[in-house]
A and B are shown apart, each in its own frame.
Chain A
């Protein structure tokens, strides 16, 4: 029930996942919750599309995964960003900032990025 358009979500998904994993390693359910929180519920990812994305990123070498079994919690597969992933994140960041700048100027917003 996301208000955000599908193509938008698709294009931004990898950048968002990389950014989240760039802060700390995480697992699928947590990522979805995080996106839900950050977007105030506007973007609601389905597991069925997040996991294939994670797997593809793993196949591309952007992230790596490992199983974690903590005491009192259920077994979860965590994802961690790789060095290649950090480079990709930097590149993504640059591109999205360009887009953001253009839109900000067009919409008369103050460029507040430093």
Chain B
């Protein structure tokens, strides 16, 4: 029995015991027991002839390895606690530990105020952007969800396979016929928008209002439209009944219950108020302020309800179950074939098909012809969502970068903590505690930023969110949740990386992983700037396209044309009775160049009609856009030029009716010499007298379509007036005076053509502003992070810089050295994101039939801008480090 002299059994057991005791789940009593066991084992083994060291090692092995003991004891720990009534103690201990984490975290944050500030502000900005945009996304996605039966409601649409046109509406009899033929349909409701303003009179007061619809009485059974007054069963059953929104009712009647009151109107003579409905939420694709019973329409225009090829009715069906959609769709083609079989073929030779569209998809995914109003766009929701995520990511990256950058600095702290017995879990807790605390501060600040930025955001996104929208439990919850998640997610990496340091290496200075974290940091900075550069390029391209739209010659004079809407019945009759007189009187004013009475104007033009060239070889009808009523002064007022032939002329007596067509129509009609040919439309024929240059009567999203213009001098309901730019005010005054002379006391409604055209690009307008603001924010947040990183690098390299200076390096060289590191990253970021931006933005531009070209200049400017911003950001620290006195920097330590 030879014992190794260097092995001290007692010391080994003592050290083993202290290790066992370091586990909190093992009490001193338990340790005593284990020790007594270990000693029994050792004694036996020694008795069998082992030396002390071998006996100790074998006994250790039999007792079980560290991990086995730990987990086995852990498993019974809680049970024991409960049996011994120690739960409260344990809880208090954990609370104390948490308190300690917070205390240490706060101390750490206070000691590095710059770091804390950059992190909190960056994260708060990122969070605020994210929340604002997500609120918008949420809003867009919430359309029509307030209808209880939304899942079962479908819109019926009309599909012309022959020319690929898909209409959002159907003809009037489709709905009722479907309800009769298809048993899966529970109920049908139809809407017909009332075009233009309606004047409602009550006693001697009158109220002009747009946004009315004719509606079936079943609307209350299909949609969740709640009546505050009146009976849903009967409200829209009889002719001459009207249901007002609460808002409108209050305007007209004040707070009194208006049910039973009578209003008079030019169109329906008199209507009785039979109900007041709750104002519709803004999140509806079909907003209206009042409903007139469909029976009123049927009485006023008898026979219209039977037109099978008049796609003006928005038809909604309520199915028995959402799954009934498929069987209904299968039967629809047969239904459509038989339904349209007998319909008049004249307008359009092809028979349309019908299809169903889920109500909830309409707002974001439906872009059919003749939508009730322009819908939102799911792509923009995705784009905005992506921007929100990007900005948040950039903020998180700051967090990770700044924390790992401090790793080297904190490695000593980690080493000391570990040497003092802190295990990894405790360190992870400490670091996560810090980042969660930071994140919570950021959440609070973000809330302030959101509230402060809300008005600006509302202006940008065209929304009207109120502060209260953010103070719902859901939003506050998700607010906190996202903040915590961000804190945890971005704190996780630094926590794991730092806590993994081995104490020996950590105490020596740099951690073993310093090189790897530096590489990660560089990667993340590159990622941030790649996103930023992408956003800059995207914004620039959107701006350029917008400028292009507004500067592209449209083929007509869009400036200084005023559109006067003559929806008021009495005025319209007077003007139509003698259009030449009113135009002459208008033109007498020196500020007015031209005036024209028309039915349409560019930007709000035109319906599709089927026409046929007389005498063409195959006398087949072709579909063209048609401005069905303009007068002799139309071209002159709008400044549209002629390619061939002549304008309508008062001198030519044959021009009681005549056509002008555009170049696209001339090509489309297929005649060699269309001038002088007769063009037939609905059994009516007139000669083509001129060919117009193509002008953009629709938005630049679409190529110029074939257009025909019919001379009907007194059928228009709009006055187009070209005014002298400098005297627009006087001109408007003159127009008002003239109209007031015809019918005193009427309001005068007008719009500048340019503003009307702008409405086509509202979505792009919105995208432009949002992209601009948020890419600026993204850059700002990225730069905040860069600023912090530059500060740390400069600090880390203090000594190196001192030595370089002593050896004679110039200040500029040193500054360049420091800044160069970062600029390289920005350059790499540019190389990564430029091709991506090129592809993505090209795809976006392709949505426009007419678009600006992607010039390299945009890329150069975007790259230069990112580089310059980065340079400015790091130059402060680079310069400061370079200018520092080497004596003081080298004396350090």
Contacts and interface: CB of A to CB of B under 8 A. Distances in A.
Interface of A: 27-29, 44, 46-49, 51-52, 55-56, 58-61, 74-77
A75 B64 contact: no
Contacts of A61: 83
B674 to A, nearest CB: 93
B32 A56 contact: no
Nearest to A52: B72
Given A29-B37, A29-B40, A52 B63 contact: no
Contacts of B33: 28, 51, 77
6 contacts: A29-B37, A47-B63, A48-B68, A51-B73, A56-B80, A74-B40
Given A55-B76, A74-B39, A48 B63 contact: yes
Given A47-B63, A48-B64, A77-B32, A59 B76 contact: yes
Given A29-B41, A52-B72, A59-B82, A46 B62 contact: yes
Given A59-B83, A74-B40, 20 more contacts: A44-B62, A46-B68, A47-B34, A47-B37, A47-B41, A47-B63, A47-B64, A48-B64, A48-B65, A48-B69, A51-B30, A51-B72, A52-B72, A52-B75, A55-B30, A55-B80, A61-B83, A74-B39, A75-B32, A77-B29
A29 B82 CA distance: 27
A48 B72 contact: yes
5 shortest interchain CB distances as A-B pairs: A48-B64, A59-B83, A48-B69, A52-B72, A29-B40
Residue of B30, B32, B72 with most partner-chain A CB within 10 A: B72
Nearest to A56: B76
Contacts of A48: 63-65, 68-69, 72
Contacts of B73: 51-52, 55
B37 A28 contact: yes
Nearest to A30: B40
A51 B62 CA distance: 13
Interface string B80-92: 1011100000000
Contacts of B38: 47
Contact of A46 (B64, B76, B80): B64
From DSSP, what is the main secondary structure of chain A's interface residues?
helix
Contacts of A47: 34, 37-38, 41, 62-64
B72 to A, nearest CB: 4
Contacts of A76: 36
A80 to B, nearest CB: 15
Contacts of A27: 36
B508 interface: no
B79 interface: yes
Interface of B: 29-30, 32-34, 36-41, 62-65, 68-69, 72-73, 75-76, 79-80, 82-84
B64 A49 contact: yes
A51 B68 contact: no
Nearest to A49: B72
Nearest to A61: B83
A60 B76 CA distance: 11
A28 B68 CA distance: 17
A61 B79 CA distance: 11
Contacts of A51: 30, 33-34, 37, 72-73
Residue of A51, A61, A74 with most partner-chain B CB within 10 A: A51
B63 A46 contact: yes
A27 B40 CA distance: 11
A95 B519 CA distance: 63
A113 B508 CA distance: 71
B39 to A, nearest CB: 6
Contacts of A60: 79, 83
A52 B71 CA distance: 10
Contacts of B40: 29, 74
A104 to B, nearest CB: 33
A98 B23 CA distance: 41
A46 to B, nearest CB: 4
Nearest to B82: A59
A76 B63 CA distance: 16
Nearest to B40: A29
A62 B65 CA distance: 27
A49 B62 CA distance: 10
B66 to A, nearest CB: 9
Contacts of B39: 74
Contacts of A75: 32, 36
A111 to B, nearest CB: 37
Residue of B29, B40, B41, B75 with most partner-chain A CB within 10 A: B40
A51 B41 CA distance: 15
Contacts of B83: 58-61
A77 B36 contact: yes
Given A29-B40, A76-B36, A59 B79 contact: yes
B80 A59 contact: yes
Nearest to B78: A59
Contacts of B68: 46, 48-49
Contacts of B34: 47, 51
Nearest to A57: B76
Residue of B64, B68, B84 with most partner-chain A CB within 10 A: B64
Contact of B36 (A46, A56, A58, A74): A74
B86 to A, nearest CB: 11
Contacts of B82: 59
Contacts of B84: 59
A28 B40 CA distance: 10
Contacts of A77: 29, 32-33, 36
A46 B58 CA distance: 12
A29 B34 CA distance: 9
A27 B80 CA distance: 19
A40 B810 CA distance: 84
Nearest to A44: B62
A29 B41 CA distance: 8
Nearest to B39: A74
B302 to A, nearest CB: 87
B134 to A, nearest CB: 49
A75 B64 CA distance: 21
A44 B61 CA distance: 12
Residue of B30, B36, B63, B69 with most partner-chain A CB within 10 A: B36
A106 B83 CA distance: 43
B29 to A, nearest CB: 8
Contacts of A29: 36-37, 40-41
Contacts of B76: 52, 55-56, 59
Nearest to B43: A74
Residue of A48, A58, A74 with most partner-chain B CB within 10 A: A48
Nearest to B65: A48
A60 B29 CA distance: 18
B64 A56 contact: no
Contacts of B80: 55-56, 58-59
B250 to A, nearest CB: 71
A76 B33 CA distance: 7
A49 B65 CA distance: 11
Nearest to A47: B63
A28 B34 CA distance: 9
A52 B25 CA distance: 11
A52 B34 CA distance: 11
Nearest to B64: A48
A74 B39 CA distance: 9
A60 B79 CA distance: 8
A55 B62 CA distance: 19
A75 B82 CA distance: 27
Contacts of A59: 76, 79-80, 82-84
Contacts of A44: 62
Contacts of B37: 28-29, 47, 51
Residue of A27, A55, A75 with most partner-chain B CB within 10 A: A55
A76 B32 CA distance: 8
Nearest to B29: A77
A17 to B, nearest CB: 14
B37 to A, nearest CB: 5
B826 to A, nearest CB: 56
